[in-house]
Structures are given as structure tokens and as C-alpha cells.
Amino acid sequence: MGLRAGLGLLWVVGAAALGCGSSAAEEAPLTLETACHALSQAECSAFLRCSPEHFSSRFASLDSCVLLRAGDCATRRAAPGSTVTPEQVRACAATRGAGCEQVLREQFGVNLPADPACVWQGTLPDGEACIDSSQCAAGTCSFFSNGGCGTCLTRADDSCFVGSECLPGSRCSAGLCVVAGKKGEACGQDQPCQPQLFCRASQCEELGEVGAPCGTADSGPCLADLFCNRVSGLCEHSTLASPDSSCGVQESGTNLLCPAGAQCRPDAESGSMRCVPSGLEGELCTADADCSPGLGCAEGSCVPLRADRCTASATLPSETYPARLPSVPQAVAGVFSAVLSAPRAVLVSFAGDSAVAPLAPFVEALGSSTYWAAATAEYGVAALTTAPPIVVNERPPSELTDAEIQTWLLDKLAHDARFPKNDGSTVYVVLYPPNVRISFPLSASDTGHSCVDFGGYHSSAVTEDGTNTPYAVLPQCAYASLTTTTAHELVEAATDPYPPSLSLTSAGYYSVDTPHYVWAMTAGGGELADLCDWQPWGAYRDAELGAAVARSWSNAAMARFHQPCVPARSATAYFNSVPRLDNSVTLRDAVGSRHTRGVSIRVGESRTVLVDLLSDAPTLGPWRVSAYDLDQFRSHGHTEPTLRFGFDKQSGVNGDVLEMTITVLKQDPNYLAEPFVLVSRRGHDTNVWLGVVGQP
């Protein structure tokens, strides 16, 4: 296994230290401080025993670990809502040290069931801000990234934004909690594997141990505390670097971790990664990892953990909902707003593909569903009808380009009588087997590949007589729900049947208005389902259809500051945090440079922006606000930041105005600007808003 059982002597010494001493000490009354010391001794010893190199990258010694964690334990137990007693802490300490599961869960973020003796329930209801799960009545404080404040919530296997919203043992996959498969069980489409397992050849297998092959199509990832050496092609332990030395992945393929009190950052001159001192108290930060041991990142600065760090200041909401109507993004169409007013779909598959059996009835039911009407009616699209499914007795090549698919489809339309006549309103939905890899031009200079860069797409072929032929291509990807992808592509094929690569005048709803263009760029496209695909609750299980589907953007709802991704979540107030952006900035994407609305800040400088907290109805309490540059948002805080954010406060209700200070650390080379995301969370409800920083 990657987590090791060595260093047993240290564990014995630690355990002996807890159990030995004078009789007076043994009879002393149990306090929270002594119980936390015992728990920290057990946890630190287990961390050191199971993963010594990662331990040494965070703590200078076993004693310093115990000292820091004991103080942290006492602070968390004193936080609002916590009812934990010293006896409960001592009972938890007695369970630590036997195995490495706790290290996997707490140090590497693996969503394993916790030991019942260490699960404590507090009194804070769902939606309240928290620093620890022991504050919450439901027993879970869910965090979006490492640091800051979380939100109390009840775990459930439903739609999800982060894994901690799902029941232990489940995974958050494409916006949905999915009960994960055990070792040897089936996996693949819609079915991920449990933590410490991966899917290969439709079966859950164990992650690679030390020395196992990795990094190839025939091998899998490594255990959580290991990394894959791309030079040797083997799973290895990381190595501890020296202070002020190079760090990260080296030319030899080895991975160097910085010692405690240092962090791995790019050198300003060479660009190479080096160990630099972690932030001291009061210094600027973007995440807890930026700060020295014993400190955390709160509102942009390294500070000691306080029990009341996440306690919201009491404010009364405005009774006008929303308190003000901000400038909102709107999907835009070409000159003629081309849509399919009476769309029809025909599902095409290949002989022997078992995935078509459940998909065909789904497609047939989709067009008359409440879901379809909510997603398309406001754009002038009627119910979707279907033609009989077609099974082609062929085996497609293992590698296909979009141009080859178009040629094949047009040939079928000309020579296979089973294919309905091309009338410009029929969408030919082609389902390809799992072993087919499809390439599609993302731009003039970039080609994407199925199940890596996209989970499906739609386009239009042109026949010899000039008739547009809408079609959708469905690869079968292990990470994506096939019904979600199908719904996504059919909604977009109906509302943007002839993509703008053919003609902007004939395009349907393909982009976002110029002042809010960053929304289209961030989504990887401005079509209606794209605008919701990356957002929290972008997918859900539809009770009427009995399957997972993709939500889609509603201009009408957003114009009234309601939930823009429809069908809307029932009985849920829509709340969000909207920055006031008053500059014209330049943003570059795959198709060129665009002028849009943002905030202008030079590299190395800062500016304070006002943020309006708005909701369309009363919420049960304040929501928590955090900000990330786009890459940090996508990685949940695990990439080098381009922006640093600080707030005068980070929570509030409808009508409150926050002050957000943005510092530009470096220019994002992909956009020549810095897109950012404001995340608003309260319990299971999470909403996002986009902005962009440009350089004058």
C-alpha cells in the first residue's frame, strides 16, 4: 500500500507516553485540553507513520504537530454550536492509530466513512457557516476549497457541487452524487468507483501501489499519497526537498515536497518551482496552504484559527427582492435567431451496443416532458418528436474525425432508406460505442477529443443541394451520464441548429451579450446548456423522465433575477453575489480578442470592488461569499493563483454590500486577462457569478 505501516517505534513511544505517568496524573480530571492532546498525539503519530514525507512537509516534528493540532482541536470544540465533551474526544482518540484510513480522509480528501466515535453533531442548522463538522446538527461542514469557512449541510445522494455534499462512499460525478462501485464491481457510464479504486475495462480496480505501472492507457492512477513518475512510469513516494531549493516534479520524474514552513512557488525570474517561506501572521494569502503551520487564510490574510471566525455579523435583509436589479447576462442569437420550431430526433446506433436499449425510450419521452418545455419554449421551440431508432449493422473505426462523421451521415441519408428525409428540422443523434475516439475542431488551431475535451457535441452538415442537416454525436464517456449528455445536445441542437461556424446570421442562441462575454468563455461555449453545464446544480435527476438531465439557461428567468438554469429548483430562493464592474477590458479566447465589461487593474496592483448581495426571496439566513480566479475555481484551489482576494466581510443577506479587494499577481497567459468566479454558498445551495480583470 502507499500509506505505510513503518515507524512503529514512534507510535509505541507516543502511545506509551499517553498511558504512563504518576497515579496523580492518571487521576487528574479530564479536560478538553488534555483530551485534545491525546487525540492529537494519536493523529500526528498515525500521519507520521503512514506518510512520513507528507508529514514532514507540514510539521517540523512530532511535538510541533501535537502542539499545533491540540490547540486547533480545542478551538474547534469551542466554536459556536459545538457540544463535544472531553469524554467524546478521548473516545475518538482511542480509535486512532490502528490504520491509515483517517489519514486518507483528513490529509488527502478521500471521502471515506468516518469512525462513528469521531462523528459529533452540534446545534447549527443547515446553511450556517462553520469551521468544523462538530458544529453542525447534521454532522457535516462542507468546504468548497482548502481554507476559509464551510457551510453546514445534510449529506444526500442528489445533485452536488463538491464531494462532501454526498453520502460517504459516494462520488460527485458530473454534478450528481453516485453510489460508487466496490472492487471488482462494474463501472463506467454513470457509475464511478469508490475512493482508492479506479475504472479499467468496466471494472473497479485498486489504485497503484509503490512500484505499480502508471500514466499509460493500460495502467491506472496511483494511491492518494503517491504520485506517478512519468519518466519511470511507476508509482512512487515523494521526496522531501531542502529549504530554498527546487521543488515539484523534476526532470528525473521525481516529486520534491517543500519542508514544513515552506511552500512550492514559481520563481519570478526563472519561472522554475522553488521552496519559499510560508506566510506569517498578517501576510497575504489565497488558501490555508499559503500560511505557516498553525495559521489559516481568512479574508485574504494569514491568521490563527478563531472559534468565531465564521460567525456572520447580524444584518437585516432589504425587503425589496432583489434589493437592486443588476446588469445580467443574456444569451444572444444570430440575425435571424434560427431555431427548430418543430424539431424531430432520430437515434442512430451500431449493432451490439447495449447502451441504446435504455437511451431510446428516454429520447422518445424527452420531447413531451415538462423538462423540455421549461428548457426550450421561451425560445420558440415546440415539443420534440421522434422517428423510429436505427441500428446500423457496422463497426465504426476506433478513430474518427467530425469530417468523417459528416461524410458517413450524408452518405446514409442518400443511400439508406431507413434514415428519414433531410428536412432541416430532423436531428440525427449518433451514439458511438465506448471504444471509439472522436476528434472535433474546437477552433482553427485546436482539436479536441471525446471524453477528454468534450462529452458530446452537435453541429450541422450541408448536403449538395444546400440543405442544413443538424446532427449530434454521443461518445460514451466513463465520467458522464449518457442521458445528461443527450438532453444537453438535443436542447442545443434545437436552439442553435446551425452553429455560427457556418454563418452568424443563421446562428441560433450561440453566445452571450458583449458586456457579459466572460460567461460564454468560461462555459466553453455560449449555447444554452453550456451556460449551465459548469454551474452548481447543472444536472439533476428528473422524476418525470426517471433519468439524469442537464439544466439549460433561461433568459427570461435571469432577466428577473431568478434561478437562470431551468427547470428551477423548487422552493429555493435564488441568491447570488454580483460585483460592480465599470471598465471596458479586453479578453482573449480561442476565436480572438473581445471587449467586455470588467475591472481594470495593473499587474502587481490592487483595487477594491463593491459586491451586491441579492436574492429573489427571503433566505433562511446569510450566505457565505468567496472568490477564485478561474483556474483555482476549476481545481478547487489547487493551482497557482493569478489573483488574490480580500473582503471586509464574507457573508450577508439581500441588500448587503461587501468590499472585495482584488490584487493581480500575474497575467493569465490564456486570456491576457484574469477571469474570476464569486461563489455564494448556504447549505446545499450554491450559486456563482463571473467577472474579469483586465490590464489597462
| 128 within a domain of the structure (yes/no) | no
Give yes or no for residue 5 having a pLDDT over 60.
Answer: no
Give yes or no for residue 467 having a pLDDT over 90.
Answer: no
Amino acid (1-letter code) at residue 596: T
**Distance, CA of 328 to CA of 21 (rounded, Å):** 67
Give yes or no for residue 599 having a pLDDT over 90.
Answer: yes
Considering only residues 109 and 445, tell me which one the structure prediction assigns the higher pLDDT.
Answer: 445
- Mean pLDDT (the chain) is 87
Residues 477, 336 share a domain? yes
At residue 69, the pLDDT reads 92
Q: Would you call the peptide bond into 322 cis, given omega within 30 degrees of 0 as the criterion?
A: yes
Residue labelled with grid coordinates 461587501:
658
Considering only residues 108 and 348, tell me which one the structure prediction assigns the higher pLDDT.
Answer: 348
**Distance, CA of 506 to CA of 510 (rounded, Å):** 10
**Distance, CA of 71 to CA of 630 (rounded, Å):** 34
Residues 612, 478 share a domain? no
Give yes or no for residue 314 having a pLDDT over 70.
Answer: no
Residues 487, 474 share a domain? yes
Amino acid (1-letter code) at residue 207: L
* Greatest extent of the chain over all pairs of C-alpha atoms, in Å: 97
Return the C-alpha cell found at 18. 499517553
Domain housing 599: 312-328+573-696
Tell me the HSE value of 622 on the side-chain side, using a 13 A CA sphere: 21
Residues 470, 342 share a domain? yes
Specify the CATH number for the domain of residue 686: 2.60.40.10
Give yes or no for residue 158 having a pLDDT over 90.
Answer: no
Residues 321, 384 share a domain? no
Return the C-alpha cell found at 648. 471586509
* Three-state SS at 506: coil
Return the C-alpha cell found at 153. 449541510
At residue 285, the pLDDT reads 81
Tell me the HSE value of 542 on the side-chain side, using a 13 A CA sphere: 24
Instruction: Using CB atoms within 10 Å of the CB of residue 313, give its burial: 0 to 12 exposed, 13 to 18 middle, 19+ buried.
Output: exposed
- Over residues 468-491, mean pLDDT: 92
Give yes or no for residue 51 having a pLDDT over 50.
Answer: yes
Residues 364, 323 share a domain? no
| 524 within a domain of the structure (yes/no) | no
Asked if residues 436 and 400 have their Cβ atoms less than 8 Å apart, the reply is yes
At residue 199, the pLDDT reads 84
| 227 within a domain of the structure (yes/no) | no
Q: pTM for the complete prediction?
A: 0.84
Domains in the chain, number = 3
Asked if residues 185 and 204 have their Cβ atoms less than 8 Å apart, the reply is yes
**pLDDT cut 70: percent of the chain above it:** 92
| 185 within a domain of the structure (yes/no) | no
Lowest mean pLDDT among 185-189, 227-231, 536-540: 185-189
Residues 389, 320 share a domain? no
**Distance, CA of 674 to CA of 627 (rounded, Å):** 12
Give yes or no for residue 14 having a pLDDT over 60.
Answer: no
Asked if residues 236 and 210 have their Cβ atoms less than 8 Å apart, the reply is yes
At residue 147, the pLDDT reads 66
Contacts of 268 (CB under 8 A, 6+ apart): none
Instruction: Using CB atoms within 10 Å of the CB of residue 572, give its burial: 0 to 12 exposed, 13 to 18 middle, 19+ buried.
Output: middle
Residues 472, 601 share a domain? no
pLDDT tier for residue 159 given thresholds of 50, 70 and 90: confident
At residue 291, the pLDDT reads 86
Give yes or no for residue 573 having a pLDDT over 70.
Answer: yes
Nearest-5° Cα angle at 494, 492 to 496: 60
At residue 23, the pLDDT reads 45
**Distance, CA of 689 to CA of 351 (rounded, Å):** 45
At residue 597, the pLDDT reads 96
At residue 375, the pLDDT reads 97
Residues in the chain: 696
Question: Which range is most confident: 55-64, 601-610, 637-646?
Answer: 601-610
Residue labelled with grid coordinates 471525446:
450
* Three-state SS at 428: strand
In this structure, what DSSP letter does residue 452 have? Answer: T
* Three-state SS at 377: helix
pLDDT tier for residue 501 given thresholds of 50, 70 and 90: low
Neighbours of 600 (CB within 10 A): 17
Residues 584, 490 share a domain? no
Domain boundary among 102, 120, 138: 120
At residue 111, the pLDDT reads 64
Nearest-5° Cα angle at 353, 206 to 345: 120
Residues 322, 338 share a domain? no
**Distance, CA of 113 to CA of 5 (rounded, Å):** 21
Residues 499, 383 share a domain? yes
The β-bridge relationship of strands 426-431 and 468-474 is: parallel
pLDDT tier for residue 6 given thresholds of 50, 70 and 90: very low
Tell me the HSE value of 1 on the side-chain side, using a 13 A CA sphere: 14
Neighbours of 554 (CB within 10 A): 25
**Distance, CA of 131 to CA of 307 (rounded, Å):** 8
**Distance, CA of 120 to CA of 89 (rounded, Å):** 9
**Distance, CA of 210 to CA of 228 (rounded, Å):** 9
**Distance, CA of 559 to CA of 516 (rounded, Å):** 13
* Three-state SS at 33: helix
Residues 451, 336 share a domain? yes
Q: Would you call the peptide bond into 515 cis, given omega within 30 degrees of 0 as the criterion?
A: no
Give the pLDDT confidence of 226-256 residue by residue, as tens digits: 999 999 999 999 999 988 889 999 999 999 9
Provide Rg for the chain, Cα atoms: 27
At residue 591, the pLDDT reads 67
At residue 432, the pLDDT reads 97
Domain boundary among 105, 120, 135: 120
- Over residues 687-696, mean pLDDT: 96
- Over residues 145-173, mean pLDDT: 84
Neighbours of 2 (CB within 10 A): 23
- Over residues 79-93, mean pLDDT: 94
Nearest-5° Cα angle at 479, 141 to 496: 105
Asked if residues 594 and 588 have their Cβ atoms less than 8 Å apart, the reply is yes
At residue 567, the pLDDT reads 96
